Amino acid sequence: MSVKSSADGGGTIKVLDRLVADQIAAGEVVERPGSVVKELVENSLDAGATRIQVDIDAGGVARVRVADNGAGIPAAEVELAFERHATSKIRLLADLDDISSFGFRGEALPSIAAVSRVTVQTRTADAIAGVRVALEAGRVTERKDAGCPVGTDIEVRDLFFNTPARLKFLKAESTEAGHAAEALVRLALMRPDVAFTLTSGGRKARQLPRADRIEERVAGLFPEEPLHRVEGEDLGVGVLAVLGPPERARAGAGSLYTYVNGRFVRDRALLKAVTQGFGGTLDQGRYPAGLVAVTLPPGACDVNVHPQKIEVRFADGRAVYRAVARIVGELASRAVWAVGARAPVRVAATAEGVAEEPALYAHPGRLVPPPQAPRSRTEPPMRPAQPAQPEPEQLAMPSAAAGAGTFSRLRIVGQAKSLFLLLEGDDDLVIVDQHAAHERVTFERLRAALSQGRLASQRLLVPSSVDLGPADAERIAALAPDLGRLGLDVSRSGRDRITIHAVPAEVCDASPSRLLADMVLALEESRGGSRGDADERALAIMACHGSLRAGASVAEAEIAALLRAMDTIDFAGHCPHGRPVLCRIPWSEIRRRVGRG
């Protein structure tokens, strides 16, 4: 219903036209073409399909087609399937406490049909012939008998043709295609018993044959990742984890797939539990690649939270957190990449406690039993070889002479906790954060270089390839011109692979893959702002990667070089991320505190 107050010109309460109501409701379910792929493939899985074909054109805006070999829809019920709140999944409110299907709201098909042109062909096993029904903007325009195999074939054309305002919010075709592929992968990872095929613009984009185990699907998605598997139970909470090592963790959680009772979800508590399980081995904001699946008893979680069913609520969130953190912790402490020569183990809960047995771990493209003495898995060199003992002056980015600079005149006392430089001035004890100071120097040097038009690059002796999730390769390829201007030369080298050919010369010691991930994140977070804002964010990330790390021991000659470099820049007292670089404690205050006032 809608009401308009008399103060606004008067009006009466009226029931919205069905088409208007359906289009409004569709906005909660159908966000983009990837939403259509998700909803239709979920229906195919609920129908018992073992083969699912997905075809998209123009990123899915022009066409999304999903064909399966499932049970099909009875001919008398096809039109009913496009009525809002019509569903075969539940009957009573109590059924919500034990949902085993993806769909249950009865909103997906009517929402899709309300904003597109839909054609469905379907036949059940006991029917001699199938039926073809066409709809436009939610209204049936055609119905006739059709010869078709058992299963359902739904084609969605001209998405948002009658809601043009929605079209303006969609991204480039390549980006939307990436989201559609991602939607398929999220469903396919937990269903290795089903074969999936995706074509985009007539080109085969993804082929996922049937597999015996979930970890085989994960290994196929991350073929270069040294994955490890662990499975266990804690007070009724089952956890399956197939994860890569912490040193290959990515910025953001895009490559960590989390599930509850087979349903892909995004839950901060689950992500935090994974990082808790890895202890202090993950940098803040980074997550391992792979999959974590939680299994709960009926009624222990509520999936009826959001129309897209990507959020859940737990009856006992602490129990879920504890189980995930503990079992992932077992993986992190026992995996082949954590224990060197010790064979990895699989953790399983038994009546007597936790049992161990040999696990499987991933080699590129496959899973095999671990050898008796696993060899260390090292990456190929990804940057030019560096001298074993760099000259101290290499730490100083600018080469300007010290002169009578403020910092170079300070007397070097030493280093504390491998974090801080202690310097003595006439009036103060100066404490410098070594990473923040070097980061500021590097940032200013990068900014000055970029002001000339483009940052210089350092070619890698061996190009570094990065395997990504299905949506990420498209996103990064679209950012290649901006990355190149910032000194990072990348290209698309496969369906889900990006190859790094060169890195910014000023930060050539940085890990290319981690630098790429963080620069992409910085550019995307700046989307909608000015190019200058995006560049500043990216330069700050680069400066962080290319600077002296906290915890590194620094010789006195290197400290002196850094102080001279600090004298050559517009210092401003903060690192590019806004943290203070130093603090000063007056000698008078120190004398007062020790009773020598």
pLDDT digits (tens, 9 = 90+) for 85-124: 655 544 444 444 555 545 445 578 888 999 999 999 999 9
**Which residue ranges of the chain lie beneath pLDDT 50?**
1-6, 9, 89-96, 101, 103-104, 339-388, 390-404
Query: What per-residue confidence (pLDDT) applies to 346?
Result: 34
Cα separations (Å) of 246 from 281, 287, 551? 6, 8, 19
Per-residue pLDDT, 16: 56
- Between CA 219 and CA 366 the distance in angstroms is 6
Contact (CB, 8 A) for 551 and 419 = yes
Model pTM greater than 0.85? no
Kindly report the CATH class assigned to 18-208: alpha beta
Task: Report the candidate in 576, 596, 568 with the shortest Cα–Cα distance to residue 440.
Answer: 576
Buried/exposed 180-212: b ≥16 CB within 10 Å, e otherwise: bbbbbbbbbbbbbebbbbbbbeeeebbebeebe
pLDDT of residue 18: 62
CA distance 507 to 487: 10
* Residue partners of 217: CB distance under 8 A and separation at least 6: 188, 189, 192, 208, 211
pLDDT value at residue 182:
93
Residues with Cβ within 8 Å of 280's Cβ and at least 6 positions away in sequence, in order, are none
Q: What amino acid is encoded at 140 in this protein?
A: V
Domain 214-368 belongs in CATH node 3.30.230.10: yes
Find residue 156's DSSP bridge partners. Answer: 64, 118
Residue spans of the domains in the chain: they are 18-208, 214-368, 392-583
1, 3, 9, 16, 160 from 13: Cα distances, Å: 6, 5, 13, 9, 28
Position 19 scores a pLDDT of: 62
Q: Which residues of 381-420 are buried (b: 16+ CB within 10 A; e: fewer)?
A: ebbeeeeeeeebeebbbeeeebeebebbebeeeebeeebb
* Token duo for residue 571: 């210092």
Predicted pLDDT of residue 530:
61
How high is the pLDDT of residue 329?
A: 87
What architecture (CATH level 2) is domain 392-583? 2-Layer Sandwich (3.30)
Cα 37 to Cα 24: distance, rounded to the nearest angstrom: 20
Taking phi first (over 0 means left), then psi (-120 to 50 degrees means alpha), and beta for anything else, what does residue 34 get?
alpha
Same fold, 214-368 and 392-583: no
Residue type, 113: A
In angstroms, the CA 265 to CA 398 distance is 48
